[in-house]
A and B are shown apart, each in its own frame.
Chain A
Amino acid sequence: MALAKITQVSGTAVHVTGSDIDTDRIIPARFMKCVTFDGLGEFAFYDVRFDKDGKPTGHPLDEPRFKGASILLSGTNFGCGSSREHAPQALYRFGFRAVIAQSFAEIFFGNCTTLGIPCVIATAEDIAKLAAAVDADPKLEVVVDVANKQVRFGSESFAVTIANTAHDALVSGKWDPIGELLEAKDAIQGRMEALGFAKA
């Protein structure tokens, strides 16, 4: 199937501070009582955005000046904990198309890549610099150049890293591997037989 080549993502950004932001924080478990991913967007980061009475807490995601942001900035070990794909699905449906953080939990990273959401790694200093620029000018255009492993904003830029496999999958438009996996049907059957798993 033809997928978009994701060579770069551009848009405005918002900074969610902190380290070890887990997928329960990104999408609390009670919102996973669903059989489709539709409608998850509004519940992204719900419990830090709203208090127990449902009143907004003034979280950056709800600040009018950051409305429409498509690039999320955060700290280390972003997306740790539960494997729930509901987390990247919620972020995507909220409007995010790329995440820049100091490091990513592995399952989350893989889930994002398979949905075509680039997750790029930057240093704390570069993220802080970008966050300060975004804070000063929330309409600042930020470019996550996946192809060239670089983030650009205003007259500034910094290098980012991303696993080569994810990089190649995104820029070549092969981030959803199902087509390629299906092609190996015979090889799979052969291996299942060799391992003794082919029959019930």
Chain B
Amino acid sequence: MGKTLFAKVWESHSIGKLANGQTQLLIDTHLVHEVTSPQAFGMLRDLNLKVAYPHRTFATVDHIVPTDSQVSPFSDPLAEAMIQELNKNAKEFGITYFSLSSGKQGIVHVVGPEQGITQPGGTIACGDSHTATHGAFGAIAFGIGTTQVRDLLATQTMAMSPMKVRRINVDGQLRPGVYSKDVALHIIRLLGANGGIGYAYEYGGSTFDGFTMEERMTVCNMSIEGGARCGYVNPDEKTFEYLKGRNYSPKGDAWNTAVDQWRAVASDKDAVYDDVVNIRAEDVPPTVTWGTSPDQAISVTENVPTPESATTEPGRISIQEALDYMKLPAGQPIKGTKIDVAFIGSCTNGRISDFREVAKFVKGKKVAPGVKAIVVPGSQVVDVIARQEGLDKIFNEAGFEWRNAGCSMCLAMNPDKLVGDQLCASSSNRNFKGRQGSPTGRTVLMSPVMVAAAALTGSIADAREVFSIAG
């Protein structure tokens, strides 16, 4: 009986069983950012412990960095205190730190892959729920809490229970104007925001085979929105091609050895899964959320649901609450809903391919009057490439603000926030109440091209119509 990649990686990284039955799992790569780590370093000091393998911890600063002026000190003293704390901890404990002055800073889930730190067959953890992004490379990657950050710093291991594996096949060709983001939202819509509890999601099928690494990252990134702590794609030639020559990728003979090992770690053809879900690519529409949970999603051509459409009383209450919060009339088209803000960026959709794709459509056009539109590259590396290609100019001329790298308005821990009940068309990953910085702010999740369509027209729109995408 064949094994899944998950089972192989789990076995190769298991140190032993703990008294309570959990596995002591070795995490070969630990990523750290400024929000969930200071307390962990504090705990290390309290316990008089060192970082066991400092060369396997990589830090950057992303959540709280302003995207306009990044001159130190930041205008927000709390943010300044947090970055100072990370500066201090990185130095004191001797960990690699992609600081603001490194030219490599960015969202931790953009930095890892682009530096070649993220590699197939490894285990990666970070105090951040979107760590599953790295699963696109065939790594087992997941988010952890701060106490576990401490455990990793101190021992390079953590207590963990194995997961079941659900294979999600998407086969066929996506329709024009439909993107990997739509695949992610569609899966969550089908399986629910809690459908993945207890599972690692293994994504595959011809659609995933055809995806670029960046497209795979977008889907793996949102595994947690479907309740799955971990999501991955088996490594293939595209994975190796992406990694070849990157800063931390193996070089010379070591490269060939690594590729052989990476090939072998992919799930066996006769691997047995705990569950299998099959989706046809042609059934995936341009998808938008209408509510306050990522599974409250519809095709952009559909109407917002009515509370009466729910089959259960809790379901009815949930729809009603979401509609009230979103100030959307029940049963009406989502298309045409006025927006105030457009945001393109985040660990979901802040990579160079996202900006290249959107730039094709916004070149020579203008953002609708009254709409604030910001574009935030996922890393300084992405920013440099985009500028070399003139993408920043295309966006700026179209009325978008091209910003510096960071998490920005995905969770608004920096100055980029919604105000009042502003509605934001967003390429990010969460539409929770208050997520984008205003307790009454409203988020509609969609693909970057759909955000651009909304930005140019001033309301939620079908990008296929706005940009005459034939399909």
Contact = CB atoms under 8 A, between A and B. Distances in A.
Interface of A: 18-20, 22, 24-25, 28-30, 32-37, 47-48, 52, 75-77, 80-86, 88, 103-107, 110-111, 114-115, 124, 163-166, 168-169, 172, 174, 176-178, 180-182, 184-185, 187-188, 191-192, 195, 197-200
A168 B17 CA distance: 13
Name the 6 nearest CB pairs between A and B, nearest first: A200-B55, A111-B145, A85-B145, A83-B143, A77-B194, A33-B78
B26 interface: yes
Interface in B29-55: 35-36, 38-39, 42, 47, 49, 52-53, 55
A86 B39 CA distance: 10
A200 B318 CA distance: 51
B434 A188 contact: no
A103 B225 CA distance: 15
A77 B56 contact: no
Contacts of B318: 18-20
A192 B26 contact: yes
A105 B42 contact: no
A18 B20 contact: no
Interface stretch (B149-157, B270-278, B332-340, B446-454): B149-157
B198 A181 contact: no
Contacts of A25: 432-434
Contacts of A200: 55
B176 interface: no
B15 A187 contact: yes
Given A83-B129, A85-B147, A188-B15, 16 more contacts: A22-B293, A47-B439, A80-B227, A82-B129, A82-B430, A85-B145, A88-B145, A107-B145, A114-B148, A166-B20, A169-B20, A178-B47, A180-B159, A188-B52, A188-B157, A191-B15
28 contacts: A18-B318, A18-B321, A22-B432, A29-B63, A33-B64, A33-B76, A33-B79, A35-B42, A35-B82, A36-B38, A80-B227, A83-B128, A85-B36, A85-B145, A85-B146, A106-B197, A107-B144, A110-B148, A111-B145, A114-B145, A174-B20, A176-B147, A177-B24, A177-B159, A185-B52, A192-B28, A192-B156, A195-B13
B35 A32 contact: yes
Contact of A36 (B15, B39, B159, B194): B39
B187 interface: no
A77 B460 CA distance: 29
B157 A34 contact: no
Contacts of A176: 147
A35 B64 CA distance: 13
Contact of A195 (B12, B194, B413, B432): B12
